């Protein structure tokens, strides 16, 4: 554990909470997640090359409420880890039963298609959405859960490719 404290920024990381983060999602995250392997950019890239399942949980912005009904609106594009599955809006601290069922069914489908693969949850750096989603997967009994806290920010900074992505149906 002393090695973790010596790494840049980890001494300032908040402690791991017992429950889900319920708000202020764009804030520094803990350095740990009980039950998951926390992976660096290099480790995430190695998992990606080995065929791990990457789950992007970045929220998809809703249509602005103040737009007139006849105004065309398109959600901003999202670039993500190539081959990732975007389970938009599944990283909030409190999920509606329908959203949790969507989360579980999409994870199950990925694991059936690629059994035995690691599952890597991510969004952006300093974003609790991926921490919450990985914690939720662990609570639901999934194994092989990895949390990639640097997300697409760290991925891009490392010179790794990004690709356009659309939310899973």
Q: Give dist(CA 19, CA 159) in Å, integer.
A: 34
Closest CA to 21 of 30, 13, 12: 30
**For the whole model, what pTM was predicted?**
0.90
- Of 47, 55, 44, 14, which Cα lies nearest the Cα of 138? 55
Provide the pLDDT for residue 10: 58
Q: What is the pLDDT of residues 34-50, one digit of tens each?
A: 999 999 999 999 999 99
Region 146-165 average pLDDT: 98
pLDDT confidence bin for 3, thresholds 50/70/90: very low
Give domain 38-61+76-169's CATH number out of 3.40.50.2000, 3.40.250.10, 3.30.230.10, 3.40.50.720. 3.40.250.10
pLDDT in tens, 42-78: 999 999 999 999 999 999 988 888 889 899 888 889 9
Residue for token digits 């990606």? 48
Burial of residue 149 (number of CB atoms within 10 Å: 0-12, 13-18, 19+): buried
């Amino acid at each position: 554990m002393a090695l973790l404290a010596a790494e840049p920024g980890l001494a300032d990381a908040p402690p791991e909470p017992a429950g889900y983060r319920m708000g202020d999602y764009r804030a520094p995250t803990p350095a740990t997640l009980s039950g998951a392997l926390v992976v660096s950019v290099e480790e995430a890239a190695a998992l990606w090359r080995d065929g791990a399942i990457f789950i992007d949980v970045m929220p998809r912005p809703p249509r602005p409420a103040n737009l007139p009904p006849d105004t065309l609106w398109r959600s901003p594009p999202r670039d993500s880890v190539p081959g990732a599955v975007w389970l938009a809006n599944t990283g909030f601290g409190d999920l509606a039963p329908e959203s949790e069922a969507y989360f579980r069914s999409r994870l199950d489908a990925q694991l059936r298609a690629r059994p035995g693969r690691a599952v890597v949850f991510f969004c952006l750096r300093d974003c609790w959405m991926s921490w919450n989603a990985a914690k939720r997967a662990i609570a639901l009994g999934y194994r092989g859960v990895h949390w990639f806290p640097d997300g697409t920010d760290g991925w891009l900074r490392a010179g790794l490719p990004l690709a356009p992505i659309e939310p899973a149906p």
